[in-house]
């Protein structure tokens, strides 16, 4: 279960726990995250929600997409740092 849940998440998690179903959960609401953490077997936090496909299916396309995003994020951060240093020293 992943999504924008409210307090009803705890009810859904309880049903899964009673039926002994392995649960992976995540939410975009910071107020509900403690309930997700307490009631599910594996919790997706932050950007892990968007990487869940790569975690679950291990497809090459999903893994390549995550690697590309990581490289691009690193390149953008380095460009910003170099730009800030260049402007500071000039």
Residues 61 and 45 both lie in one domain: no
Q: Total structural domains in the chain?
A: 2
Please give the order of strands across the beta sheet that includes 24-27: 2-3, 24-27, 42-44
Residues 44 and 66 both lie in one domain: no
Residues 1 and 32 both lie in one domain: yes
Residues 65 and 81 both lie in one domain: yes
The residue range of the domain holding 74 is 57-90
| Residues facing 6 on adjacent strands | none
Residues 2 and 36 both lie in one domain: yes
Confidence of residue 81 (pLDDT cuts 50, 70, 90): very high
The model's pTM is 0.55
Q: How many CA atoms lie within 13 A of 22 on its CB side?
A: 2
What percent of the chain is modeled with pLDDT above 70? 100
Residues 88 and 72 both lie in one domain: yes
**Residue 2 pLDDT > 90:** no
Residues 74 and 89 both lie in one domain: yes
């Amino acid at each position: 279960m992943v999504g924008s849940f409210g307090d009803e998440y705890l009810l859904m998690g309880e049903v899964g726990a009673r039926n002994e179903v392995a649960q992976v959960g995540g939410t975009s609401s910071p107020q509900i995250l403690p309930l997700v953490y307490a009631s599910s077997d594996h919790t997706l936090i932050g950007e892990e929600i968007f990487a869940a496909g790569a975690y679950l299916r291990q497809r090459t396309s999903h893994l390549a997409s995550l690697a590309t995003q990581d490289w691009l994020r690193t390149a953008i951060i380095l460009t910003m740092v170099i730009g800030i240093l260049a402007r500071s020293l000039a």
